[in-house]
Amino acid sequence: MNTATSTKSDRTDTRSESMANVHLTANGIHKTFGEADAETSALRGIDIDIDRGDFVAIMGPSGSGKSTLLYCLSGMDPVTDGTVTLHDGDADSVEVTALRQRDLAELRLTRMGFVFQQVHLLRNLTILDNVVLPGFTASPDEREAVVARARELLELVGIGELADREITQASGGQLQRAAIARALINSPDLVFGDEPTGALNASMAAEIMDLLVQVNREGRTVVLVTHDVNVAARANRVVVLRDGEIDGDLRRDDSQTDDQWAESLAGWLTSHGT
């Protein structure tokens, strides 16, 4: 099987061999919820490097900690222990877990994009306004450029004609496309998705995944959480979590065709009980 794999017993393989291309690094992340007497561990020492331009799918059974990992990696949830570092090419790295709320917000606004299972669009804004809001917030002096880019992105995701509609006047799939356009408005180089196709039917899910693949091909790193093997098959790396720990990590070989990759992934996931 032409795949690079790692298992729980060989965790160091989840780390990138060349740090030069690493985009995001997690070191010993722990996350616990609840009070001391009723504490639940969601993540138990996660170490992972994510390469620039990678498309990583995080999978695992319910309660395995995959969404928690995504939120810890993006700085939305504070970690209990460990560090997350965002590497910026030749520039200095940023330790996400050491940032103050204000700086974290700035980081998410300018360098990260998010797509959620629930579309989480703001109810009092039109579709176009929802897309431009993060752009206006990040670049208040470049409004015309932001609007032009928002319209361009809406065309790109195929809902240009819906720009001026209320969010109550569009379907779930259309709203998820709007959410992708919003995620890309500030041209982030890292896009997170938390089950972005979870609330969509199969054909809509496929269309959304096409878009995310396209986003990845443009050079952006994509990290998404999914239950769906078909979604995971669009990634080039799949990490399986179990009980808050990495249970497996499979990377697609460049020589594999889509079918070969899908087949080997299915077998690998079965062997990991996913």
Partner 1 sequence: MTPRRRTNDKSAIWIRMLRADYRRTRTTSVVLAGLIAMAALLAATGGSVLVQLTGAIGELFTTARTPDVVQMHAGEIDLAAVDAWAEDQTELTDWQVSETLPIPTDQLFLTDEPQSGSVLQPALVTQNQSFDLLLDLDDEVLVVGPGEIAMPLYYHQTQGLEVGDQVSVRLPERRFDFTVTSFLRDSMMNPTFATSKRLLVSTEDQRAISGLIAEPEYLIEFLVSDRSDTRAVSDAYTRTGPATNGPLLDRGTFFLLNAVSHGIGIAVLSLLAGLMVAVAAIALRFSFLTAIERDTHEIGVMKAIGMPRKGIRRLYLTKYVALALIGGVVGSLLSIPAARVVTASLRLQLGDPAGSWWLTTAPLLGAGLVVLAIVAWCALMLRRLGRISTMDALRASTPPRRRRRWLPTRKPRSRLTNSHLPAGFWMGMNDIRRSFRTHRMLLAVLTLCTFLVLVPLNLWTTVTSPTFITYLGTGVADLRLELRSPAAVASSSELMSALDQDPDVARVASFVTARFEVANTDGEWEQLPVETGEHSVFPLSYLNGTSPDSPDEISLSSLAADSMGAQIGEQITLRGETGSRQVTVVGVYQDMTNGGSTAKGMVPVDGEPIVWRTVLLDAADGVKPAELAERLSTSYPAVQTIQMSEFADQTLGDLITQTGNVAAAAALVAVVLTALIASMFAQMTIARDQSQIAIQRGLGVSDRGIRVQYLTRFLVVLVAGIGLGAVLVATVGRSMVASVIGSLGAPALRFDVEPLLAYGAVPMALTVTVGVAALIATRSFDDLGISRLNDE
d(CA 145, CA 47): 39
Decide the pairing of beta strands 91-95 and 81-88: antiparallel
Q: Is residue 99 close enough to count as binding partner 1 by CB under 8 A?
A: no
Q: 154 or 250: whose CB is closer to partner 1?
A: 154
Closer to partner 1 by CB, 114 or 261: give it. 114
* Residue 156 is a binding residue for partner 1 (CB under 8 A): no
Q: How far is the CB of 28 from partner 1 (least distance, A)?
A: 20
**Residue 126 in contact with partner 1, rule: CB under 8 A:** yes
Q: Which of these ranges, 80-88, 89-97, 115-123, 246-254, lies near partner 1 under the rule CB under 8 A?
A: 115-123
Asked if residue 194 binds partner 1 (CB under 8 A), the reply is yes
Q: Binding to partner 1 by residue 159, rule CB under 8 A? A: no
How many other CB atoms are found less than 10 A from the CB of residue 84?
A: 23
Distance in Å, CB of 70 to partner 1, minimum? 9
CB of 165 to partner 1, least distance (A): 8
Instruction: Say whether residue 88 binds partner 1 (CB under 8 A).
Output: no
For residues 144 and 146, give the distance between their C-alpha atoms in angstroms, rounded to a whole number: 5
Question: Is residue 155 a contact point for partner 1 (CB under 8 A)?
Answer: no
Rounded Cα distance between 64 and 94, Å, is: 27
Structure tokens at 146: 């932001």
* 199 scored as a contact of partner 1 (CB under 8 A): no
Among 24, 43, 121, 180, binds partner 1 (CB under 8 A): 121
Instruction: List the interface residues with partner 1, window 227-266 (CB under 8 A).
Output: none
Q: Which of 88, 95, 120, 271 binds partner 1 (CB under 8 A)?
A: 120
Q: Given the complex with partner 1, which of 154 and 208 has the nearer CB atom?
A: 154
Q: Which stretch binds partner 1 (CB under 8 A): 22-30, 83-91, 163-171, 250-258?
A: 163-171
**Positions in the binding site for partner 1 (CB under 8 A):** 67-68, 71, 76-77, 101-102, 105-110, 112, 114, 116-118, 120-126, 128-129, 132-134, 136-138, 140, 143, 147, 150, 164-166, 182, 194
